[in-house]
Amino acid sequence: MHLLILRVLLSCMGLLGNVVLILSIIHTRVSPLKTFELFLLGLAAANLEEILIINIYDFLQISYVFSDAWSCRSLKFLTVFGEISSILFTVLISIYRYQKMRGTYKRVHLAIYLDNIRVACMVSGLCVGISAVLSIPIFVINLQGQAGNLMRNHTGCPSDFFLCSDDHCPTVNRIYKYVFLLLCNLLPLIIVTLTSSLIVAVLLSRTTTVTPIASVSGSTQTVRKRNGRRLHRSTVAILAAMSLFLVDWTLYLIFQMVFNPTDVRFWAEMEFFISTSYTSISPYVYGIGNSLFSVKNFRRKNVCTTAC
């Protein structure tokens, strides 16, 4: 009962946070969409889709038996699709922020390829396409041969989409499991760890790249200080979100590699909390860190929208 309450609270928090993040970027905008905001939109949409599908799946598991394998596979496809999309957009955000910071803090105004909104849209579309391709095997892996404790209410739709047990694990299932863990967990973890470390290194070396006060006017200096504080706050928020990402998906990878779902009684609950905590908490970290959730920001944009 307590786990169910926690699941409901986490899901509601995630739904609210991602919806507010999307609205704060789209509904209140008065200027063209920027690359970072586009990536945030993609991340929030993927998070929202994943949370919705997971809860629909849980509701169907409790309310009735799945009538056929197609409905089970379709829901699992959408769940994995949202999960992979969320991971890939997080990787994009980490890479993009490091590239922006590297030039900003070194006072070197180099053109960044991802600053082009068309390129950013293409990269975002590529992430969505990769997510779809990596999710398609859900329709061909074997759904049978699972132990009873993996299947809620014996609906015939196991909660673990790798669908492997000690006594029955087809080769295609094993191949998909390890390819998924390698491409969608281990590789993103390595990339996010590397970019986060580089971001921290840039922050630590910031004092050696400060422009002398005498070389700029008072107004220019004030603007640079304000922009620097805003960038620093946004960067700290991104690092916090990256840390949450690393903790969650490292735990997920460890559990998948070390434990067998058939041996863990609360496997479905553990998998839910590990995979959903990032999708539910990260929109608040990004939104607050980038001043997207501030009342002042909403009022300013709404007033400007009415006046302009």
The 3-class secondary structure across the chain, one letter per residue, is CHHHHHHHHHHHHHHHHHHHHHHHHHCCCCCCCCHHHHHHHHHHHHHHHHHHHHHHHHHHHHHCCCCCHHHHHHHHHHHHHHHHHHHHHHHHHHHHHHHHHHHHHCCCCCCCHHHCHHHHHHHHHHHHHHHHHHHHHHHCCCCCCCCHHHCHHHCCCCCCCCCCCCCCCCHHHHHHHHHHHHHHHHHHHHHHHHHHHHHHHHHHCHHHHCCCHHHCCHHHHHHHHHHHHHHHHHHHHHHHHHHHHHHHHHHHHHHHHHCCHHHCCCHHHHHHHHHHHHHHHHHHHHHHHCCCCCHHHHHHHHHHHHHC
pLDDT digit string, tens, across residues 198-240: 999 888 886 555 545 445 555 555 555 665 677 788 889 999 9
Question: Is the pLDDT at 150 greater than 50, yes or no?
Answer: no
Query: Is the pLDDT higher at 62 or at 307?
Result: 62
pLDDT digit string, tens, across residues 235-268: 899 999 999 999 999 998 988 888 776 667 777 7
pLDDT band at 70 (very low <50, low <70, confident <90, very high): confident
Question: Is the pLDDT at 28 greater than 50, yes or no?
Answer: yes
pTM for the structure as a whole: 0.85
Q: Hey, what domains does the chain have and what are their CATH numbers?
A: 11-206+219-307 (1.20.1070.10)
| Model pLDDT, residue 120 | 92
Determine which of 16-30, 55-69, 137-151, 271-285 has the lowest per-residue pLDDT on average: 137-151
Determine which of 5-9, 16-20, 108-112 has the lowest per-residue pLDDT on average: 108-112
